[in-house]
Amino acid sequence: MARAVKGDPAAAPDAVLRLAVLLQAGVSPARAWTHLAEAGDPVALRMRERLDEGMPLPAAIAADGGAWADVGAAWSVAATVGAPLAETLRGFAAVLRDAQETADQVRIALAEPAGTAKLMGWLPLVTIGLGAALGFDTLAVLLTHPAGLACLGAGLALLVAAHRWTALLVRRAGAGDTAAGLGAELLAIALSGGVSLDRARALLAESGAGAPDAEAERVLALSRSAGVPAVELLRAAASHARHRARVDGRLRAAKLSSRLLLPLGVCTLPAFLLLGVAPMILSVMSTMSLTV
């Protein structure tokens, strides 16, 4: 259920919570969105424009993508089954906040190794200026000497390879499930309205959330075998899924630190030798040959 996000994803939980408070106070859904728009909320402003164009409310919410697509799905499911909308949104705001905290923690954990890799990527280019500052004619060697041109070409190629390799490793490390447990939460909302399981599955499909994942199906099987309501079991499973996503993200960040040593050793350090050390040696050799 991971989706592209428009705007600030961290703002969604707060806006949903404000919506829940307004609805609980007896404000109608359309009027609640109007109040948020008048308060300057950018999503609410776009929402009001879509509502004025005649778009259905859940679709207008989901049109912003990201967390708002999940809010639109929750709104659609709750409104269809007759679940208390204010209570549903209040609980869903907590779910979104937990998911956002998980994403933030993973992003913070990835920032240090990724930043270190970017800093090390500049090292070969810095050594060119350092060599010139020490009195070596490194730029002239790299641009005019045949061996210097070969070092320049090979060094730049290694830098490009290191940059792409590093970016690929960082992108893979950050590609976790940003919507862990949301499917189970939506299924719990549907079942809390008293509908059958088949109807709940159909509502999830109609809302764009898709079919329940394997973990949700295991929870449903446990509910049937134990003869207990599935709603709280699903919410517990969703909470566990978010915790697991948080731990998995931190593990990926820890592994990234060691994996980034590969482009550093294979590409960045050789580029440092080709662009920094080799031109200095060639400059000294050229000076010695001219002296002789």
The mean pLDDT of 104-121, rounded to a whole number, is: 80
In a domain, 4, yes or no: no
Question: Is a pLDDT exceeding 50 seen at residue 121?
Answer: yes
Domain limits at 63?
Answer: 11-85
- Boundary-marking domain end, from 25, 56, 85: 85
The mean pLDDT of 248-260, rounded to a whole number, is: 83
Q: How far is CA 182 from CA 2, 101, 255, 260, in A?
A: 10, 14, 27, 32
Local confidence band at 5 (pLDDT 50, 70, 90 cut-offs) = very low
The mean pLDDT of 92-120, rounded to a whole number, is: 80
Question: Is a pLDDT exceeding 90 seen at residue 246?
Answer: no
Averaged pLDDT score across all residues of the chain: 82
Count structural domains, the chain.
Answer: 2
Residues 140 and 240 both lie in one domain: yes
In a domain, 264, yes or no: yes
- Boundary-marking domain end, from 54, 85, 116: 85
Residues 169 and 187 both lie in one domain: yes
Q: Mean pLDDT highest for which of 40-49, 126-135, 157-166, 275-284?
A: 157-166
Residues 136 and 256 both lie in one domain: yes
Residues 152 and 60 both lie in one domain: no
**Residues 6+ away with beta carbon under 8 Å from 252:** 106, 110, 173, 174, 176
The mean pLDDT of 269-287, rounded to a whole number, is: 84
Residues 52 and 120 both lie in one domain: no
Amino acid at 186: L
Residues 172 and 207 both lie in one domain: yes
* Nearest-angstrom CA–CA distance, 8 and 124: 36
- pLDDT, tens digit (0-9, with 9 covering 90-100), for 34-51: 888 888 888 888 888 888
In a domain, 6, yes or no: no
- Asked which of 68-72, 80-84, 110-114, 208-212 is least confident by mean pLDDT, the reply is 208-212
Say what the pTM is.
0.66
Residues 118 and 255 both lie in one domain: yes
Residues 62 and 124 both lie in one domain: no
